[in-house]
Amino acid sequence: MAKTWLITGTSTGLGRLLTERLLERGDRVVATLRRHGSLDDLLAKHGERLYVVNFDVTDTQAMRKGVAHAFAAFGRIDVVVSNAGYGVFGAAEEATDEQIERQIATNLTGSIQLIRAVLPHLREQGGGRIVQVSSEGGQIAYPCFSLYHASKWGIEGFVESVAQEVAPFGIDFILAEPGPTATQFSEALDRTHPMPVYEETPAGETRRALASGAFAIKGDAVKTVSRLIDTADLPSAPFRLALGSTAYHSISQALTQRMNELEANKPLTLAADKDAFIE
Protein backbone atom coordinates (compact mmCIF):
# COMPACT_ATOMS: atom_id res chain seq x y z
CA MET A 1 0.00 0.00 0.00
CA ALA A 2 1.42 3.38 -1.06
CA LYS A 3 2.40 5.81 1.68
CA THR A 4 2.71 9.56 1.87
CA TRP A 5 5.94 11.06 3.18
CA LEU A 6 7.10 14.54 4.14
CA ILE A 7 10.87 14.96 3.85
CA THR A 8 13.01 18.02 4.59
CA GLY A 9 16.34 18.75 2.96
CA THR A 10 15.66 17.03 -0.36
CA SER A 11 17.84 18.96 -2.80
CA THR A 12 20.90 16.72 -2.32
CA GLY A 13 22.28 13.79 -0.35
CA LEU A 14 20.17 11.31 1.55
CA GLY A 15 17.06 13.49 1.26
CA ARG A 16 17.22 13.54 -2.52
CA LEU A 17 17.90 9.80 -2.75
CA LEU A 18 15.08 9.04 -0.35
CA THR A 19 12.68 11.11 -2.42
CA GLU A 20 13.75 9.37 -5.63
CA ARG A 21 13.39 5.85 -4.21
CA LEU A 22 9.97 6.50 -2.69
CA LEU A 23 8.58 8.01 -5.89
CA GLU A 24 9.98 5.12 -7.93
CA ARG A 25 8.07 2.60 -5.84
CA GLY A 26 4.81 4.55 -6.16
CA ASP A 27 4.62 6.52 -2.91
CA ARG A 28 3.69 10.19 -2.61
CA VAL A 29 6.23 12.69 -1.29
CA VAL A 30 6.04 16.20 0.08
CA ALA A 31 9.61 17.39 -0.49
CA THR A 32 10.84 20.54 1.22
CA LEU A 33 13.93 22.47 0.21
CA ARG A 34 15.41 25.96 0.19
CA ARG A 35 16.44 26.24 -3.47
CA HIS A 36 13.74 26.60 -6.10
CA GLY A 37 14.03 24.25 -9.06
CA SER A 38 16.18 21.55 -7.46
CA LEU A 39 13.52 18.87 -8.00
CA ASP A 40 12.13 20.01 -11.34
CA ASP A 41 13.29 16.78 -13.01
CA LEU A 42 11.37 14.68 -10.50
CA LEU A 43 8.30 16.87 -10.83
CA ALA A 44 8.31 16.34 -14.59
CA LYS A 45 8.62 12.58 -14.15
CA HIS A 46 6.27 11.91 -11.23
CA GLY A 47 3.71 14.71 -11.50
CA GLU A 48 1.07 14.85 -8.80
CA ARG A 49 2.76 12.31 -6.54
CA LEU A 50 5.44 14.91 -5.72
CA TYR A 51 4.50 18.11 -3.92
CA VAL A 52 7.37 20.58 -3.46
CA VAL A 53 7.35 23.15 -0.67
CA ASN A 54 10.05 25.81 -0.43
CA PHE A 55 11.14 26.92 3.02
CA ASP A 56 14.21 27.14 5.21
CA VAL A 57 13.89 25.17 8.46
CA THR A 58 15.31 28.18 10.29
CA ASP A 59 12.18 30.17 9.30
CA THR A 60 9.67 28.71 11.75
CA GLN A 61 6.63 30.61 10.50
CA ALA A 62 7.26 29.66 6.87
CA MET A 63 7.80 26.05 7.92
CA ARG A 64 4.51 25.91 9.84
CA LYS A 65 2.66 27.28 6.81
CA GLY A 66 4.40 24.80 4.52
CA VAL A 67 3.55 21.87 6.79
CA ALA A 68 -0.10 22.97 7.00
CA HIS A 69 -0.28 23.23 3.20
CA ALA A 70 1.24 19.78 2.83
CA PHE A 71 -1.30 18.11 5.12
CA ALA A 72 -4.10 20.01 3.41
CA ALA A 73 -2.90 18.95 -0.03
CA PHE A 74 -2.51 15.23 0.73
CA GLY A 75 -4.97 14.79 3.59
CA ARG A 76 -2.76 12.35 5.45
CA ILE A 77 1.00 12.02 5.84
CA ASP A 78 2.21 8.67 7.12
CA VAL A 79 5.91 9.36 7.68
CA VAL A 80 7.72 12.63 8.38
CA VAL A 81 11.48 12.61 7.80
CA SER A 82 13.42 15.42 9.49
CA ASN A 83 16.55 15.35 7.36
CA ALA A 84 17.69 18.94 6.74
CA GLY A 85 21.10 19.67 8.22
CA TYR A 86 24.82 20.20 7.66
CA GLY A 87 28.04 20.38 9.66
CA VAL A 88 30.42 23.05 10.91
CA PHE A 89 33.98 21.71 10.77
CA GLY A 90 36.81 23.00 12.91
CA ALA A 91 37.97 23.40 16.49
CA ALA A 92 35.34 24.99 18.73
CA GLU A 93 37.56 27.99 19.48
CA GLU A 94 37.88 28.71 15.77
CA ALA A 95 34.16 29.00 15.06
CA THR A 96 32.52 32.39 14.72
CA ASP A 97 29.39 33.31 16.65
CA GLU A 98 27.47 33.30 13.36
CA GLN A 99 28.62 29.76 12.54
CA ILE A 100 27.50 28.54 15.96
CA GLU A 101 24.11 30.22 15.73
CA ARG A 102 23.38 28.93 12.24
CA GLN A 103 24.45 25.36 13.10
CA ILE A 104 22.14 25.20 16.11
CA ALA A 105 19.31 27.02 14.31
CA THR A 106 19.36 24.54 11.42
CA ASN A 107 20.14 21.16 12.94
CA LEU A 108 18.64 21.52 16.41
CA THR A 109 16.05 24.30 16.56
CA GLY A 110 14.91 23.63 12.99
CA SER A 111 14.36 19.94 13.74
CA ILE A 112 12.58 20.74 17.00
CA GLN A 113 10.24 23.19 15.30
CA LEU A 114 9.49 20.79 12.43
CA ILE A 115 8.48 18.10 14.91
CA ARG A 116 6.35 20.60 16.83
CA ALA A 117 4.72 21.72 13.56
CA VAL A 118 3.69 18.21 12.47
CA LEU A 119 2.53 16.85 15.84
CA PRO A 120 -0.94 18.49 15.83
CA HIS A 121 -1.62 17.12 12.34
CA LEU A 122 -0.43 13.63 13.24
CA ARG A 123 -2.58 13.65 16.37
CA GLU A 124 -5.64 14.74 14.41
CA GLN A 125 -5.19 11.98 11.83
CA GLY A 126 -4.78 9.34 14.52
CA GLY A 127 -1.03 8.75 14.44
CA GLY A 128 2.04 8.57 12.26
CA ARG A 129 5.78 8.08 12.30
CA ILE A 130 8.60 10.63 12.55
CA VAL A 131 12.08 9.72 11.36
CA GLN A 132 14.71 12.05 12.76
CA VAL A 133 17.93 11.79 10.79
CA SER A 134 20.60 12.10 13.45
CA SER A 135 24.05 10.55 13.11
CA GLU A 136 26.48 8.26 14.86
CA GLY A 137 27.54 11.73 15.98
CA GLY A 138 24.45 11.82 18.18
CA GLN A 139 26.13 9.28 20.47
CA ILE A 140 29.87 9.67 19.85
CA ALA A 141 32.14 12.60 19.05
CA TYR A 142 35.06 13.42 16.76
CA PRO A 143 37.41 16.39 17.13
CA CYS A 144 36.47 19.32 14.85
CA PHE A 145 32.77 18.46 14.88
CA SER A 146 31.83 19.82 18.33
CA LEU A 147 29.01 22.08 17.09
CA TYR A 148 27.58 19.37 14.85
CA HIS A 149 27.68 16.94 17.77
CA ALA A 150 25.99 19.48 20.04
CA SER A 151 23.10 19.67 17.59
CA LYS A 152 22.79 15.90 17.16
CA TRP A 153 23.13 15.00 20.84
CA GLY A 154 20.58 17.73 21.52
CA ILE A 155 17.98 16.51 19.04
CA GLU A 156 18.33 12.94 20.28
CA GLY A 157 17.51 14.07 23.83
CA PHE A 158 14.55 16.06 22.57
CA VAL A 159 13.19 13.11 20.60
CA GLU A 160 13.65 10.70 23.53
CA SER A 161 11.41 12.93 25.64
CA VAL A 162 8.80 13.78 23.00
CA ALA A 163 8.46 10.12 21.96
CA GLN A 164 7.15 9.35 25.45
CA GLU A 165 4.76 12.30 25.36
CA VAL A 166 3.07 11.40 22.08
CA ALA A 167 3.09 7.59 22.16
CA PRO A 168 -0.52 7.55 23.47
CA PHE A 169 -1.58 9.30 20.25
CA GLY A 170 -0.18 6.57 18.01
CA ILE A 171 2.89 8.64 17.03
CA ASP A 172 6.29 6.94 17.12
CA PHE A 173 9.86 7.88 16.24
CA ILE A 174 12.95 6.44 14.61
CA LEU A 175 16.32 8.02 15.34
CA ALA A 176 18.42 7.18 12.28
CA GLU A 177 22.16 7.27 13.02
CA PRO A 178 24.27 6.89 9.87
CA GLY A 179 28.02 6.69 10.11
CA PRO A 180 30.23 8.53 7.58
CA THR A 181 28.42 8.07 4.26
CA ALA A 182 29.37 8.91 0.68
CA THR A 183 27.16 11.97 0.10
CA GLN A 184 27.87 15.66 -0.44
CA PHE A 185 28.11 16.18 3.34
CA SER A 186 31.88 16.75 3.46
CA GLU A 187 31.83 19.10 0.47
CA ALA A 188 29.10 21.17 2.12
CA LEU A 189 30.90 21.56 5.46
CA ASP A 190 31.05 25.08 6.84
CA ARG A 191 34.75 25.22 7.69
CA THR A 192 36.31 27.42 10.34
CA HIS A 193 39.51 29.41 9.80
CA PRO A 194 42.28 27.12 11.18
CA MET A 195 44.34 28.39 14.10
CA PRO A 196 48.01 27.28 13.96
CA VAL A 197 47.93 26.38 17.67
CA TYR A 198 45.64 23.40 16.84
CA GLU A 199 47.88 22.01 14.09
CA GLU A 200 49.52 19.34 16.28
CA THR A 201 46.41 18.36 18.23
CA PRO A 202 43.60 15.84 17.59
CA ALA A 203 41.76 18.67 15.80
CA GLY A 204 44.67 19.10 13.38
CA GLU A 205 44.91 15.34 12.87
CA THR A 206 41.22 15.14 12.00
CA ARG A 207 41.55 18.05 9.59
CA ARG A 208 44.44 16.37 7.78
CA ALA A 209 42.67 13.01 7.69
CA LEU A 210 39.61 14.51 6.06
CA ALA A 211 41.71 16.43 3.53
CA SER A 212 43.84 13.41 2.58
CA GLY A 213 41.04 10.87 2.40
CA ALA A 214 42.41 8.93 5.37
CA PHE A 215 39.12 9.54 7.20
CA ALA A 216 37.34 6.39 6.06
CA ILE A 217 33.87 6.86 4.59
CA LYS A 218 32.43 3.35 4.45
CA GLY A 219 28.72 4.10 4.19
CA ASP A 220 26.93 3.64 0.86
CA ALA A 221 24.24 6.29 0.38
CA VAL A 222 21.90 4.12 -1.69
CA LYS A 223 22.10 1.21 0.76
CA THR A 224 21.64 3.59 3.69
CA VAL A 225 18.45 4.99 2.18
CA SER A 226 17.18 1.49 1.35
CA ARG A 227 17.70 0.28 4.92
CA LEU A 228 16.01 3.41 6.24
CA ILE A 229 12.95 2.79 4.05
CA ASP A 230 12.86 -0.88 5.07
CA THR A 231 12.86 0.14 8.72
CA ALA A 232 10.26 2.87 8.33
CA ASP A 233 7.97 0.32 6.64
CA LEU A 234 8.01 -2.00 9.66
CA PRO A 235 4.80 -2.07 11.72
CA SER A 236 6.92 -1.87 14.87
CA ALA A 237 10.23 -0.14 14.19
CA PRO A 238 13.29 0.20 16.43
CA PHE A 239 13.63 3.54 18.20
CA ARG A 240 17.31 3.84 17.20
CA LEU A 241 18.81 2.60 13.94
CA ALA A 242 22.57 2.74 13.49
CA LEU A 243 23.50 2.59 9.80
CA GLY A 244 26.87 1.30 8.60
CA SER A 245 29.75 -0.59 10.19
CA THR A 246 31.49 2.56 11.41
CA ALA A 247 28.37 3.62 13.28
CA TYR A 248 27.95 0.17 14.78
CA HIS A 249 31.51 -0.13 16.06
CA SER A 250 31.91 3.47 17.26
CA ILE A 251 28.58 3.52 19.11
CA SER A 252 29.20 0.07 20.61
CA GLN A 253 32.62 1.14 21.88
CA ALA A 254 31.25 4.39 23.33
CA LEU A 255 28.36 2.67 25.13
CA THR A 256 30.66 0.01 26.56
CA GLN A 257 33.05 2.65 27.87
CA ARG A 258 30.20 4.59 29.49
CA MET A 259 28.86 1.48 31.20
CA ASN A 260 32.33 0.61 32.48
CA GLU A 261 32.76 4.11 33.88
CA LEU A 262 29.30 4.04 35.43
CA GLU A 263 29.99 0.76 37.21
CA ALA A 264 33.49 1.83 38.30
CA ASN A 265 32.06 4.91 39.98
CA LYS A 266 29.03 3.17 41.51
CA PRO A 267 30.02 3.71 45.18
CA LEU A 268 30.55 7.44 44.63
CA THR A 269 27.38 7.70 42.55
CA LEU A 270 25.07 6.03 45.08
CA ALA A 271 26.63 7.94 47.99
CA ALA A 272 25.07 11.14 46.62
CA ASP A 273 21.55 10.02 47.71
CA LYS A 274 19.84 11.04 50.91
CA ASP A 275 20.77 8.68 53.77
CA ALA A 276 17.33 7.08 53.74
CA PHE A 277 17.81 5.96 50.12
CA ILE A 278 21.41 4.73 50.19
CA GLU A 279 21.55 1.07 49.17
Measured between alpha carbons, how far is 112 from 159 in angstroms, rounded to an integer? 8
Whether 148 is a known active-site residue: answer: yes
Q: Which of the residues 134, 146, 151, 250 is marked catalytic?
A: 134
Contact between residue 2 and residue 28 where contact means Cβ atoms under 8 Å apart: yes
Vertex 173, ends 151 and 25: CA angle to 5°? Answer: 105
Cα separation values, 10 from 32, 102, 197, Å: 6, 19, 38
Neighbours of 140 (CB within 10 A): 23
Whether 218 is a known active-site residue: answer: no
Q: Which of the residues 82, 111, 146, 148 is marked catalytic?
A: 148
Contact between residue 118 and residue 80 where contact means Cβ atoms under 8 Å apart: yes
Give the side-chain half-sphere CA count within 13 A for 254: 13
> What's the count of helices (H) and strands (E) in the chain, helices before strands?
10, 9
Whether 152 is a known active-site residue: answer: yes
Edge-to-edge, what's the strand order for the sheet holding 240-243? 50-54, 28-33, 4-7, 79-82, 128-133, 171-178, 240-243
Measured between alpha carbons, how far is 255 from 79 in angstroms, rounded to an integer? 29
Q: Which of the residues 142, 146, 152, 198 is marked catalytic?
A: 152
For the annotated catalytic residues, the residue numbers are: 134, 148, 152
